[in-house]
């Protein structure tokens, strides 16, 4: 016989304003096995389904059961800002922006370079939204800096929820920005997921291009959620699920329903309530929330030939902290002649224009500081 389970937020220990609120719920009817969902365990939720099948809404629902949420990678339409809406159960939000971007809004904001792991812990939701970065390169650098901070989580009791709203774009951005091949980017993403779990993060991954999500990645999920898949159907290695649901129903599931396959091969039908604050298509959240964005000059990236703005700033900072040019050259793997040039270039800017343009682009506090160079 089937057992029915209703997830209740009171089972979890949620901090902040959410404890007083009625949160949207999930109902599961188990068809095989039974595995109660444990929000104290670091989980990977992988959600497959067509556009409009209710994947993002489900990610948002799940996220609410975690004390902290990082909406890591979102869509172009800044969907993750839905947490800022009036009807969202959360009011403790930090918006993260690129170093050359200014935000004018009523929420707390910080540039990604000023962000620390401790600061992340001060908020219920952290959102580095798409429009808060300028250009693909700027966004890529910003998201990577944020991800670097994740590893500082050496001690944990309750997982932090991390949302990746379009897994294939997330992987593809690495292919584009770092020039690695797709196979390596996928392997790295799998490795990252595994590691993240050890460091106490639950991942909610939403993907429309489920055919490009390999079996290996599906196998890693603790919860594989299958929503409306349309005529493409479900991948071959899990087509045994058709014993529990007929292909026609699977192809046309309404957005509040899904099929669940757990890591231990339990199977359930699921129904989820709608998180009312979810962004409907066609809504402009930046306008609704009154968030104004000012973009500065694009940051110059480093390459083999060129020392970009951030690397330049690092040289200046290291030098200002008292490190010699030879030592800096060893630290950053650049010739000491180039280090020497950058230090002189910096001072030239400060003396002639009042600031170094490279440092200024990334809002360094050393932008107008003349360095002491012994003659
Ligand atoms: N649990 C739900 N109950 C009712 N309607 C829903 C539910 N989840 C989603 N929807 C509807 O489906 C639309 C698309 O959902 P969304 O999560 O944005 O889809 P996806 O991320 O798969 O493209 C929503 O805007 C909403 O109108
Ligand atoms: Mg979506």
Q: 18-32, 204-218, 287-301 — which is least confidently predicted?
A: 204-218
Cα separation values, 121 from 28, 141, 150, 154, Å: 31, 21, 11, 13
Q: Which ligand is nearest to the CA of 279?
A: 1
Q: How confident is the model at residue 13 (pLDDT cuts 50, 70, 90)?
A: low
CA–centroid distance, 51 to ligand 2, in Å, is: 6
Q: Are residues 195 and 341 in the same domain?
A: no
Q: Which ligand is nearest to the CA of 48?
A: 1
Q: Are residues 63 and 181 in the same domain?
A: yes
pLDDT of 57 higher than 90:
yes
Q: 6-15, 158-167, 201-210 — which is least confidently predicted?
A: 6-15
Q: Are residues 291 and 316 in the same domain?
A: no
Q: Which of 52, 74, 270, 276 to mutate to test the pocket of ligand 1 (most atoms within 8 A of CB)?
A: 52
Does residue 110 contact residue 146 with C-beta atoms inside 8 Å?
no
Residue 10, pLDDT score:
47
How far apart CA 205 and CA 73 sit, in angstroms, is 10
Q: Are residues 164 and 220 in the same domain?
A: yes
| Residue of 347, 358, 322, 323 lying closest to 332 (CA atoms) | 323
Residue 334, pLDDT score:
95
- Which of 295, 322, 348 is the endpoint of a domain? 295
CA–centroid distance, 53 to ligand 1, in Å, is: 6
Q: Are residues 128 and 158 in the same domain?
A: yes
Q: Are residues 174 and 224 in the same domain?
A: yes
Which residue's alpha carbon is nearest to atom 17 within ligand 1? 54
Ligand 1, closest atom to CA 273?
A: 1
Contacts with 114 (C-beta within 8 Å, 6 or more apart), sequence order: none
Q: Which ligand is nearest to the CA of 167?
A: 2
Q: Does 41 map to a domain? A: yes
Q: Is 274 in the pocket of ligand 1 (CB under 6 A)?
A: yes
pLDDT of 27 higher than 80:
yes
pLDDT of 148 higher than 70:
yes
Q: What is the CATH number of the domain that holds 233?
A: 3.40.50
Q: Output the DSSP codes for 79-106.
A: GGGGGGSTTSS---EEEEE-TTEEEESS
Q: Does 191 map to a domain? A: yes
Q: Is 51 in the pocket of ligand 1 (CB under 6 A)?
A: yes
Q: Are residues 325 and 291 in the same domain?
A: no
Q: How confident is the model at residue 16 (pLDDT cuts 50, 70, 90)?
A: low
How far apart CA 98 and CA 2 sit, in angstroms, is 50
Report how many helices (DSSP H) and strands (DSSP E) the chain contains, helices first: 12, 14
pLDDT of 72 higher than 60:
yes
CA–centroid distance, 87 to ligand 2, in Å, is: 19
% pLDDT > 90, the chain: 64
Q: Does 232 map to a domain? A: yes
Q: Per-residue pLDDT averaged across 128-142, rounded?
A: 89
pLDDT of 2 higher than 60:
no
Q: Does 35 map to a domain? A: yes
Q: Is 279 in the pocket of ligand 1 (CB under 6 A)?
A: no
- Which of 262, 295, 328 is the endpoint of a domain? 295
Q: Does 73 map to a domain? A: yes
Q: Is 53 in the pocket of ligand 1 (CB under 6 A)?
A: yes
Q: Are residues 193 and 332 in the same domain?
A: no
Q: Which ligand is nearest to the CA of 60?
A: 1
Q: Per-residue pLDDT averaged across 172-198, rounded?
A: 89
Residue 7, pLDDT score:
57
Q: Per-residue pLDDT averaged across 107-127, rounded?
A: 94
pLDDT of 60 higher than 50:
yes
Residue 3, pLDDT score:
54
Q: Are residues 244 and 141 in the same domain?
A: yes
Q: 257 or 210, which is more confident?
A: 257
Q: Which domain holds residue 60?
A: 4-295
- Which of 257, 272, 295 is the endpoint of a domain? 295
Residue 212, pLDDT score:
67
How many domains does the chain contain in total? 2
Q: Are residues 261 and 125 in the same domain?
A: yes
Query: What value does the mean pLDDT of the chain take?
Result: 90
| Residue of 47, 70, 42, 80 lying closest to 261 (CA atoms) | 47
Residue 319, pLDDT score:
96
Ligand 1, closest atom to CA 227?
A: 22
Q: Per-residue pLDDT averaged across 296-315, rounded?
A: 88
Q: Are residues 175 and 317 in the same domain?
A: no
Q: Does 371 map to a domain? A: no
Q: Is 130 in the pocket of ligand 1 (CB under 6 A)?
A: no
H or E element at residue 185: helix 182-198
Q: Are residues 245 and 330 in the same domain?
A: no
Q: Does 85 map to a domain? A: yes
Q: Does 155 map to a domain? A: yes
Q: Which of 7, 23, 49, 54 to mutate to test the pocket of ligand 1 (most atoms within 8 A of CB)?
A: 54
Residue 150, pLDDT score:
96
């Amino acid at each position: 016989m089937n057992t029915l389970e209703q997830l209740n937020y009171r089972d979890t220990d949620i901090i902040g304003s959410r404890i007083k609120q009625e949160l949207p719920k999930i109902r599961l009817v188990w068809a095989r096995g039974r595995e109660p969902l444990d929000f104290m365990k670091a989980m990977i939720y992988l959600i497959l389904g067509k556009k409009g099948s209710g994947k993002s809404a489900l990610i948002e629902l799940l996220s609410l059961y975690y004390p902290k949420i990082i909406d890591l990678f979102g869509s172009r339409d800044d969907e993750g800002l839905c947490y800022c809406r009036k009807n969202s159960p959360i009011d403790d939000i930090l918006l993260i922006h690129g170093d050359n971007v200014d935000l004018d809004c009523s929420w707390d904001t910080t540039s990604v370079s000023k962000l620390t792991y401790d600061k992340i812990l001060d908020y219920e939701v952290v959102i580095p939204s798409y429009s808060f970065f300028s250009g693909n390169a700027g966004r890529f650098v910003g998201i990577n800096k944020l991800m670097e901070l994740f590893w500082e989580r050496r001690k944990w009791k309750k997982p932090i929820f991390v949302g990746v709203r379009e897994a294939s774009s997330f992987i593809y951005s690495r292919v584009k920005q770092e020039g690695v091949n797709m196979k390596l980017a996928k392997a790295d993403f799998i490795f990252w997921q595994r590691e993240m779990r050890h460091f106490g993060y639950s991942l909610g991954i939403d993907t429309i291009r489920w055919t490009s999500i390999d079996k290996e990645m599906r196998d890693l999920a603790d919860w594989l959620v299958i929503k409306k898949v349309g005529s493409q159907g479900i991948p071959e290695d899990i087509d045994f699920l058709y014993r529990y649901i007929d292909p026609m129903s699977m192809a046309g599931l309404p957005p509040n329903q899904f099929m669940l396959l757990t890591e231990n091969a339990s199977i359930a039908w699921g129904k989820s309530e709608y998180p009312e604050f979810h962004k409907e298509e066609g809504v402009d959240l930046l306008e609704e929330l009154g968030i104004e964005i000012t973009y500065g000059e694009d940051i110059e990236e480093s390459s083999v030939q060129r020392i970009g703005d951030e690397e330049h700033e690092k040289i200046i900072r290291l030098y200002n902290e008292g490190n010699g040019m030879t030592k800096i050259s060893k630290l950053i793997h650049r010739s000491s002649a180039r280090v020497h040039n950058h230090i002189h270039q910096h001072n030239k800017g400060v003396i002639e224009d009042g600031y170094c343009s490279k440092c200024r682009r990334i809002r360094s506090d050393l932008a107008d500081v003349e360095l002491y160079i012994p003659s």
